[in-house]
Structure 1
């Protein structure tokens, strides 16, 4: 977004076009769409977002329909994954779907190239095998878009070597994993798909880490200030490692006058109106993202902890995850049952003066931007982390799956932007962490100050001449001089 506009042009680059492969999950789609918006607004580059049929949900369709005219979308053909085990991990499903789509993707990219000046192909983190399709279609440049942070990227770039040097499981390590420029990560907090080496998803992640080296460059949705040492190391990569460009934070934006295209109107209005009636920085926003759900026991302890904390809260409540994994909502973000029925008896009535419960969904960026929001209890999904930092909201970390535990370590031990909920998840400990974040004079005050500092640096990086804007300018400059 540039100068308040969602679309723009630059005569020198008006004909350039980029194709972007979006592997499943709104957490992958949103930052790539924001990258496409920035390319259109600042450089006049048009884009095609290529999405998987497996995630053609109503939420995704409405989101795609809300994008500006410079960004079109194409749904790739369905892929049969029925031969995979019933318990196949999300990472395995996405990786297999990508590989099986290569022939169809080659045809689609060839077709785009016939109609447009297709200067680059961008694949997100589970889509590196699609580089084969881009190469076969004659696309001149192939980029990896990494929607999470430099810590996670560093781990995956080193994973083929770690696979050889660490024979046992990460979770059994006595010492944390130490990587160049990164906060030491305890083995149990390493990415979830790496926690069982016997599973297919582990082998896939090793494979992706090796294939990342085939990229011409890696674009990362992070910024130097939040992980400065990792950024410094990756700025001068070893031979064979692609150059890395931190171009974030890319978070969801809207054109002036637009509303949330995928938003149900009544909950949105209710929660923002409720926030309007609360004092400044007094409310902790509680949400576990579009794909996260808690076990019933943790859901109950969280409710009792919020009550015990005495703090105002706005909680996006989802049905619990007892019947599946904590990532059970990943492919379909709509809650299937009434979530309030799982809360402790009398909780809703007892907390009605200080809390608001919203089923399933809330306009997160608008809640975080609201003057009344003073804290964010989050699953540490990277999109949510960036939205929190951009709006200057300190975090309570309650990670669930994927890379979230590793993010929580980086945020608490490295960036100083969060306080982590203890593993036991007892109501007294939850209450203590929430109180410390909202009104504490020790750790809470330090975190609040650090987040205010990071907010300024994130904002400055997106200005003309800022670090993120200059990094993206450098990438686009390479396109203007090349032929197809």
Structure 2
């Protein structure tokens, strides 16, 4: 294991020189961004050499959760950790006062939450700058033919001769509204992030979007108008990372056994993501709406469970602190997915043909919820969760449309997505050939 003062390179790749083309994928240390970025790196590594770069502290977490356990023998993918000081992630705790009474208003982050986000990016930027100015060759395979990064990753220090493609892990609608929000942030607390986005979008040589052209093609012109950059957009969705090991754990087996005992289409699966810690009143309102239904709920809470969850019917109601999401969504007993609207989760649901009820809280989750509604595969919560759940169980039109979308998404995964990823690698080869001829 190679160790330096700035980097620790995990032995998930042997720095093979067999593939001349080399892509550096940089991911910010937020799990919902790291997962699709790592899946993109994995798929690119089938055609060229790839280095995946993110905070060393999150890589350790990736190891514990099994995200990179299958990469130890890879000769074309290196996992490299940046010692950026982002070793403390308390998570985003949503306060009761931030939740709208009608469940439909976007959370406005308080100053502490904004500062936390900005500080993560600033620390990452300083570490990246130090690396590229002083210690790059000792940690990252050279030369670098392309850099792929999120739009708010600090990149101003990079060599202008290296092509930069921005990875958009959500849909274009959310990206467009994010760019618009730069003009409505009256507090200025997200200034650093917005500055990075503006600069990166301006200099990007291309955009890689984790969605389907069939979903987002209608937003391309609007994206170009908002960004001012007419570089190509490549739709490579759905990128869905599968970290559920081929060897089934006892915890997963117990959950599947429980699902096997449930009637077909009777169980509601609830999961609100890994970032936010929900307040007790939200947990309680969901629990009250679910009390007469079968459900499996992936729930982490810092406080004790509310009284509404104390006397569950264990034969039909299950709470777990971790859930094998893809295994659950693929199960025939699951009726629909009650989600926070994270794009990764929505794509997983679409791949398995499940109907969606979405309670968005912040960021692109509201745009994702609108996407679900527009596609006809579900709805956004209203002021009455009990009615929402009953509506989802009784409305058969959602299930029919979800199966149609499932076919579309699976076809894109097996065809369009692979073609677009291969085109990215071919683009580098073409640029290298033109450079050699000069």
Same fold, TM-score > 0.5, yes or no: yes
Are 1:433 and 2:388 an aligned pair?
yes
The 5 A counterparts of 1:380-391 are: 380-391=341-352
Are 1:201 and 2:175 an aligned pair?
no
Question: In structure 2, do the counterparts of structure 1 residues 207 and 50 end up closer, same or farther at CA, with 3 Å as the change threshold?
Answer: closer
Distance 2:82 2:43 in 1: 24
Deviation at 1:200, TM superposition (A): 1.7
Whether the 8 Å contact between 1:77 and 1:104 is mirrored in structure 2 is no
Other-structure match for 2:53:
50
Are 1:355 and 2:355 an aligned pair?
no
TM-score, reference length from structure 1: 0.73
Distance 1:111 1:30 in 2: 26
Are 1:75 and 2:59 an aligned pair?
no
Whether the 8 Å contact between 2:356 and 2:378 is mirrored in structure 1 is yes
Match among 399, 423, 429 for residue 480 of structure 1: 429
Match among 352, 375, 380 for residue 415 of structure 1: 375
Question: In structure 2, do the counterparts of structure 1 residues 222 and 436 end up closer, same or farther at CA, with 3 Å as the change threshold?
Answer: same
Whether the 8 Å contact between 1:213 and 1:242 is mirrored in structure 2 is no
Whether the 8 Å contact between 2:51 and 2:78 is mirrored in structure 1 is yes
Question: In structure 2, do the counterparts of structure 1 residues 61 and 75 end up closer, same or farther at CA, with 3 Å as the change threshold?
Answer: farther
Distance 1:433 1:80 in 2: 40
Structure 1: runs of 5 or more not aligned: 1-6, 8-12, 164-168, 170-195, 320-336
Match among 365, 368, 372 for residue 404 of structure 1: 365
Are 1:17 and 2:22 an aligned pair?
yes
Other-structure match for 2:95:
none
Distance 1:111 1:403 in 2: 37
Aligned partner of residue 280 in structure 1, secondary structure? coil
Distance 2:123 2:247 in 1: 33
Other-structure match for 2:338:
377
Match among 380, 398, 409 for residue 447 of structure 1: 398
Whether the 8 Å contact between 2:148 and 2:165 is mirrored in structure 1 is yes
The 5 A counterparts of 1:44-123 are: 45-53=48-56, 55-59=58-62, 62-63=65-66, 65-68=68-71, 69=74, 70-79=76-85, 87-106=113-132, 107-111=134-138, 115-123=141-149
Other-structure match for 1:244:
233
Whether the 8 Å contact between 1:156 and 1:209 is mirrored in structure 2 is no
Whether the 8 Å contact between 1:236 and 1:243 is mirrored in structure 2 is no
Distance 2:266 2:152 in 1: 39
Question: In structure 2, do the counterparts of structure 1 residues 19 and 364 end up closer, same or farther at CA, with 3 Å as the change threshold?
Answer: same
Other-structure match for 2:105:
none
Are 1:147 and 2:169 an aligned pair?
yes
Deviation at 1:476, TM superposition (A): 1.6
Distance 1:80 1:382 in 2: 24
Other-structure match for 2:152:
126
Other-structure match for 2:7:
none
The 5 A counterparts of 1:178-217 are: 196-202=185-191, 204-205=193-194, 207-217=196-206
The CA deviation string for residues 188-241 of structure 1, in whole angstroms up to 9 with x for no partner, is xxxxxxxx4213215632541342121111111111233342147558998633
The CA deviation string for residues 134-183 of structure 1, in whole angstroms up to 9 with x for no partner, is x16x6x321111111111222345556xx2xxxxx5xxxxxxxxxxxxxx
Higher relative contact order (CA 8 A, sep 6+): 2
Whether the 8 Å contact between 2:179 and 2:226 is mirrored in structure 1 is no
Distance 2:361 2:165 in 1: 29
Whether the 8 Å contact between 2:202 and 2:227 is mirrored in structure 1 is no
Whether the 8 Å contact between 1:18 and 1:120 is mirrored in structure 2 is yes
Q: CA RMSD in A?
A: 3.1
Other-structure match for 1:468:
417
How many matched pairs? 393
Distance 1:228 1:141 in 2: 24
Question: In structure 2, do the counterparts of structure 1 residues 30 and 212 end up closer, same or farther at CA, with 3 Å as the change threshold?
Answer: same
Question: In structure 2, do the counterparts of structure 1 residues 411 and 242 end up closer, same or farther at CA, with 3 Å as the change threshold?
Answer: same
Aligned partner of residue 145 in structure 1, secondary structure? strand
Aligned partner of residue 362 in structure 1, secondary structure? coil
Whether the 8 Å contact between 2:262 and 2:316 is mirrored in structure 1 is no
Whether the 8 Å contact between 1:418 and 1:447 is mirrored in structure 2 is yes
Deviation at 1:78, TM superposition (A): 2.8
Deviation at 1:33, TM superposition (A): 1.3
Match among 35, 43, 55 for residue 30 of structure 1: 35
Question: In structure 2, do the counterparts of structure 1 residues 219 and 94 end up closer, same or farther at CA, with 3 Å as the change threshold?
Answer: farther
Other-structure match for 1:269:
253
TM-score, reference length from structure 2: 0.80
